[in-house]
């Protein structure tokens, strides 16, 4: 199977489900020579800019150092962007700039980082990916969520990849445990909204979308012909 850069048909690799660890185990699903060569090519392409990726991890860790996730364990926030990057690799994405964008995707929105800082440190392409997936915090939460749906369809392929992996990570978290202060109905509503965003990104990455739709089916989020997502 020939790998397409950041696309849909590359070989897919399994990662241990514990998203709380940095240890990653790549296991080709197809025990074929093609899958082995696909894995080798993926690793080589990412490793070619490993120094830059490590710089992104370090920068994001510093920027998010005082932040925690909303789960009961209050896990360090940096686990989230690292987990999003892991999911992209699992989906066969080998574009180092997309991996960097995933690692940095919440820095503008949730820290005092500016887009110009990211341009200066990591280049305009990476900064552009981050900017595309950044919400305007001056708007209400409902308006930000509405705009995510509106903007998703016209986002770049790279931004859609990060958005899909981000949603998958968050939904897996919600499926695993309800955040403090959340009701089950609020979790349902998040799944409903996320399904609309994912639908707008349809055709971006087969593996990530399949994983997302498994969760939507589990939570019975149904995307009707008229575009309305309901929970049964």
* Active-site annotation, residues: 109-110
Q: CA–CA separation, 230 vs 152, rounded Å?
A: 19
Measured between its terminal Cα atoms, the distance across the chain in Å is 38
Rg from Cα positions in the chain: 17
Nearest to 38 by CA among 7, 63, 69, 79: 7
Taking residue 2's Cβ as centre, other Cβ atoms within 10 Å add up to 11
167 touches 190 (CB < 8 A)? no
| 189 to 120, 135, 174, 181, 183: CA distances (angstroms) | 38, 19, 11, 14, 10
Count how many residues are written for the chain: 232
Sequence-distant (6+) residues with CB within 8 A of 56 are 99, 100, 103, 104, 122, 126
Q: How many helices (H) and strands (E) does the chain have?
A: 11, 4
């Amino acid at each position: 199977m020939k790998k397409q850069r950041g696309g849909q048909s590359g070989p897919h690799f399994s990662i241990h489900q514990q998203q709380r660890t940095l240890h990653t185990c790549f296991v080709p699903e197809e025990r074929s020579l093609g899958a082995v060569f696909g894995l080798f090519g993926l690793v080589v392409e990412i490793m070619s800019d490993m120094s830059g990726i490590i710089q992104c991890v370090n920068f994001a860790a510093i920027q998010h150092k005082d932040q925690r996730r909303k789960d009961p364990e209050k896990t360090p926030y940096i686990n989230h962007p690292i987990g999003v990057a892991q999911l992209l690799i699992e989906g066969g994405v080998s574009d180092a700039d997309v991996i960097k964008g995933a690692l940095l995707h919440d820095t503008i929105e949730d820290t005092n980082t500016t887009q110009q800082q990211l341009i200066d440190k990591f280049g305009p392409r990476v900064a552009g990916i981050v900017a595309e997936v950044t919400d305007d915090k001056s708007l209400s939460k409902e308006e930000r969520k509405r705009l995510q749906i509106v903007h998703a369809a016209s986002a770049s392929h790279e931004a859609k990849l990060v958005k899909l992996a981000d949603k998958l990570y968050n939904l897996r978290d919600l499926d695993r445990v309800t955040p403090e202060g959340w009701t089950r109905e609020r979790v349902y509503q998040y799944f409903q909204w996320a399904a609309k965003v994912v639908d707008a990104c349809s055709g971006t990455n087969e593996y990530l979308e399949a994983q997302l739709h498994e969760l939507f089916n589990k939570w019975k989020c149904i995307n009707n012909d008229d575009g309305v997502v309901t929970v049964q």
